[in-house]
């Protein structure tokens, strides 16, 4: 638990503190994908003009880990926004497709899915972090930010590439 808290604090500062294993050729097994926030039509209709970025770090450390950090500006102050890693790009219909799941068809919860819920400060700047003890597959392709009062409304999407 203490290690997870330390990793969360380091991730909020933009620091990744995972030591990736090295293969026989001295190469690290670490993949970093990132992207920028795109405000979706649902967000525009509600008056949002969002900016920000996200990063996903996948490693083979200890059987696999995934860390996701999302930063978004332009949200409502002092609010928590549901955000989930999705299995399609932002250009798909609907944007991002469905929730990514470690076990496809398994539970819809923050253990089987990656939920970096975004909490904003008094200025509407938000941060979301999720750390999993499992390496996300390649079909973890985007992050979708949902409207808290109606999660069917997709406010923004971030392609991870």
**Is 128 within 8 Å of 119 (Cβ atoms)?**
yes
**Is 156 within 8 Å of 39 (Cβ atoms)?**
yes
* pLDDT the model gives residue 15: 41
Whole-prediction pTM: 0.83
* pLDDT the model gives residue 2: 36
* pLDDT the model gives residue 63: 84
Q: Is residue 24 part of a domain?
A: no
Q: Is residue 18 part of a domain?
A: no
Domain that holds residue 143: 2-13+31-159
Q: Is residue 22 part of a domain?
A: no
**Is 11 within 8 Å of 131 (Cβ atoms)?**
yes
User: Domain total for the chain?
Assistant: 1
For 78-87, how does the pLDDT look when each residue is reduced to its tens digit (9 = 90+)? 999 999 999 9
For 128-144, how does the pLDDT look when each residue is reduced to its tens digit (9 = 90+)? 999 999 999 999 999 99
Q: Is residue 109 part of a domain?
A: yes
Q: Is residue 98 part of a domain?
A: yes
Q: Is residue 6 part of a domain?
A: yes
pLDDT score of 27 more than 60: no
Q: Is residue 102 part of a domain?
A: yes
CATH of residue 127's domain is 2.60.40.200
Q: Is residue 97 part of a domain?
A: yes
């Amino acid at each position: 638990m203490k290690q997870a808290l330390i990793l969360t604090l380091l991730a909020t500062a933009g620091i990744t503190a995972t030591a990736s294993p090295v293969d026989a050729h001295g190469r690290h097994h670490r993949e970093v994908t990132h992207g920028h926030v795109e405000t979706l039509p649902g967000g525009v209709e509600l008056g949002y003009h969002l900016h920000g970025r996200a990063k996903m770090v996948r490693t083979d450390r200890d059987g696999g880990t995934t860390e996701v950090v999302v930063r978004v500006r332009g949200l409502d102050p002092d609010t928590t926004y549901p955000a989930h890693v999705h299995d399609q790009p932002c250009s798909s219909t609907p944007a991002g497709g469905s929730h990514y799941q470690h076990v496809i068809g398994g539970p819809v919860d923050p253990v089987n899915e990656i939920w970096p819920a975004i909490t904003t400060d008094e200025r509407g700047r938000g941060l979301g972090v999720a750390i999993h003890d499992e390496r996300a597959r390649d079909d973890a392709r985007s992050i979708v930010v949902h409207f808290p009062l109606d999660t069917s409304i997709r406010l923004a999407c971030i392609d991870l590439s």
